[in-house]
Amino acid sequence: MSRLRPRAWLLFLFLSAGFFTWPSRAFAWVESHVARDDVRVTVAPDGSARVEHRVLLLVSGGPLTSISIRGVDADAIIEPGAYVVPESDDKSGSLSNAVELSPKRVGGEAGARTDIEAPIAGRGISRGRFVAVLRYKTDLAAAGLLRADGASARLDWVGAEWDDGLETTRATFVLPSAPKEPHTIDADADAEGDEGARGTFLSTLTKKADADSLEIIRPYASRSERVIWSLRVDPRAFSFMAKEPTSRGPSVAGSPPAPPRSPLTIVQSPRETGFLVGALALFVIVTSLVGAHAIEVRQRAARRGDQPRPLLGVPVVIRTVIAGSLFVLGVGLQFSDTAPLLGSVVLSSSILAIWHLPARRKSAPRGPGTWLALRAHEAFFVAPRRSSIFDAKTWSGALALLVVLCVFAGAARYVAQSSTTLATLLLFDVTPLLALFLTGGRACVTPDPASDGIELFRRVARLVERARPGVRVVPRVRIPRGEKDADEMRVVFLPARAARGLRGIELGAAYASGPGGHLLLPEIMLRYEEGSPCETLAGSFEPFGRAQRGRRPDERVQSFVPKLPTARVTADLVMALLDRTTAAPLPDRNTRAPQKPAVRRALVSRGATPEPALVSETG
């Protein structure tokens, strides 16, 4: 386990964390959609109200173990007796197949709203159409939602919030009977245009002896919209109106007017503030990561004498701002109900400001030089790799990448409880951040043939020495004339009994450039003398290699490239060449060759002593 590379450790730790932290129910696919929310608000003369939600759920897969209602009244007091029942039973009025709900208040913004979480008893519900019924009490007068407004009274009640939106939403308000009929108004209309705004809603009034029932239908509610139901009612229906000052104009009791309290400010302002704070925090985090990554890439390139090559060639400050803005804008569009696909495209485009191209290699002709042989412990020494948070090939970079993946996986797990679509988008959002760990690393600087291949050479040499005892391994470096530092390194392999004419099996390294950096490609060269027995043995390799001239006039070379640039595949190819170029063992001089039958018969006729084998054959 100690020999595992950072990428192998990263994969192992990530799979382990996902296996132990992901709940078992996550493996059971479930998708739920809220098709309708029928609300019944029964208002008492003292300003208190009883709210009943009848939520139509469309469940696929399953089981669904919990139901959530977000954004109910802040002072909601939940009543017992909540249940969920199949839609067919709800229409017939049967409760024989009802499943008990255990609703409770959770989370929410203090003073503005609260949420209701209702776990489903037993194993939950699976695949079908169900109606969930929940009830709670609230005080509309204390919250300022039912108040005197000039010569009349105004009721503004805000509905719950649904992630998927509603094609049709319905609210029925049961009010105390009064001489003046209640009617709807548009919450967005000004005070003088109330009457002209009634066309936004469809309403039906039913008058009874003790109550007036106003049924209101809103044709469409967009995603995450909280519908505001605004009514103009008769203040004589409520006992507390004579004691409360009006919000504008003269009050019923003649008291001075009080400043208006808008339900938009009470309910929606904290939510918008939370979104603004979250977007600002996300912008700061993304810009900080992109800026730190750019600084680290510039420092790494300076140590190798290169210039960083960002894909978007603008200053670092501008690139960080562009990346953060596109990332935050993309997330905002994804969580909107208008353009989630456009949000994914905008978020993906932020990778253009993060990606770094590999440095251009300096191609120049080499001068003459001398090859020197080194000892293995000297040639294969690797200096400790500098720690880098944004390079996944180092321990610190692998750990940082694992933390980022775990954070997004945990967030997706939490969001998946309410919407699998949002969870999928959240997992997709980690893609631009992967460019921080996969570009700009060591692979993007100009490669050094004298040092970058040491790790591969060492691993190949160890594999060959273990599998083929007796093979000579000779590391060699090339020193240019007049220089003190080597400009290339190769490793020569020689079998214990080399075929005549074999000069060596040489392992070198070439480099290929791509969008993600420079890739090391091992290359194996078989060197032999022209016209020697080794040339005959190497003839079978001609279809698989590339023949060329050697360093000397009488030298020939065949070059081979492994199918995969890994140490294991490269070592297998080296060992295949070693086995092919190993000379056959010489016969033992003390062992006499067996005599032919004709020779043995001639020796017997002359009176010579035959071999024991001849005696046994002739009798």
Judged against a pLDDT cut of 90, whether residue 322 lies above it is answered with yes
Please state the φ and ψ torsions of residue 89, each to the nearest 5 degrees.
-70, -35
The model's confidence at residue 51, banded by pLDDT at 50, 70 and 90, is: very high
**Best CA proximity match to 36, nearest among 160, 123, 203:** 160
Q: What is the mean pLDDT of residues 406-433?
A: 81
* pLDDT for the residue 288: 92
Instruction: Provide CB contacts within 8 A for 266, sequence distance 6+.
Output: 112, 143, 144
Handedness of CA 438, 442, 447, 450 (dihedral sign): negative
In the chain, the N- to C-terminal Cα span, in Å, equals 67
* Mean pLDDT on 132-137: 93
Give the bridge partners for 50, in sequence order.
42, 137
Do the Cβ atoms of 456 and 507 come closer than 8 Å?
no
Cα 276 to Cα 162, 270, 282, distances in angstroms = 20, 10, 10
| Residue 587 pLDDT | 59
Q: d(Cα 567, Cα 563) in Å, to the nearest integer?
A: 11
Q: What is the mean pLDDT of the chain?
A: 79
- Range with the poorest average pLDDT among 8-17, 134-143, 554-563: 8-17
Decide which of 248 and 230 is more confident. 230
* CA torsion through residues 392, 395, 400, 405, sign: positive
pLDDT at 580 over 50: yes
Render 246-277 in DSSP notation, one character per residue. -SSS--TT-PPP-----HHHHHHHHHHHHHHH
**Entry pTM:** 0.51
Q: How many CB atoms lie within 10 A of CB 545?
A: 17
On the question of pLDDT at 295 being above 70, the answer is yes
- Domain boundaries defined on the chain: 29-261, 267-444, 454-580, 592-619
Query: Which residues on neighbouring strands pair with residue 105, listed in sequence order?
Result: 116
Tokens (6 digits) for 370? 């001398």
The pLDDT of residue 82 is 92
In the prediction, which pLDDT does 132 show?
A: 92
Residue position matching structure tokens 């056959």: 584
Q: What's the number of CA atoms in the CB half-sphere (13 Å) around residue 101? A: 28
Tokens representing 494 are 């020689």
Least confident of 155-159, 316-320, 337-341: 337-341
DSSP count for the chain of H helices, then E strands:
14, 25
What's the whole-number mean pLDDT along residues 102-117?
74
Residue 239 near residue 46 (C-beta atoms within 8 A): yes
Tokens of 116: 């209701």
- The confidence score (pLDDT) of residue 52 equals 94
Q: Residues 588-615: what's their mean pLDDT? A: 54
- Report, in angstroms and rounded to the nearest whole number, the Rg of the chain calculated over CA atoms: 41
Could you tell me the maximum CA-CA distance found in the chain, to the nearest angstrom? 157
Nearest to 113 by CA among 335, 305, 268, 284: 268
Cα separations in angstroms, 361 against 104, 304, 442, 445, 609? 65, 11, 14, 9, 79
Residue with tokens 């390139």: 301
Predicted confidence band of residue 366 (pLDDT cuts 50, 70, 90): confident
**Domain 29-261 is in which class?**
mainly beta
Give SS3 for 555.
strand
Q: Which CATH class is domain 454-580?
A: alpha beta
What is the reported pLDDT for 487? 86
- Which residues, including other chains, have CB under 8 Å from residue 275's CB and lie 6 or more apart? none
pLDDT value of residue 174: 92
Tokens of 505: 């099996």
> To 10 degrees, the CA torsion angle through 395, 396, 398, 404?
160
pLDDT at 244 over 50: no
The string of pLDDT tens digits covering residues 428-453 is 888 888 888 888 887 788 888 888 88
Q: Are strands 104-106 and 48-61 parallel, antiparallel or unpaired?
A: unpaired
**Residue 558: which of 513, 526, 598, 584 has the closest Cα?**
526
pLDDT score at 264? 41
**Pair 224, 274: CB distance under 8 Å:** no
Please tell me the distance from the alpha carbon of residue 143 to that of residue 148, in angstroms, as a whole number.
13
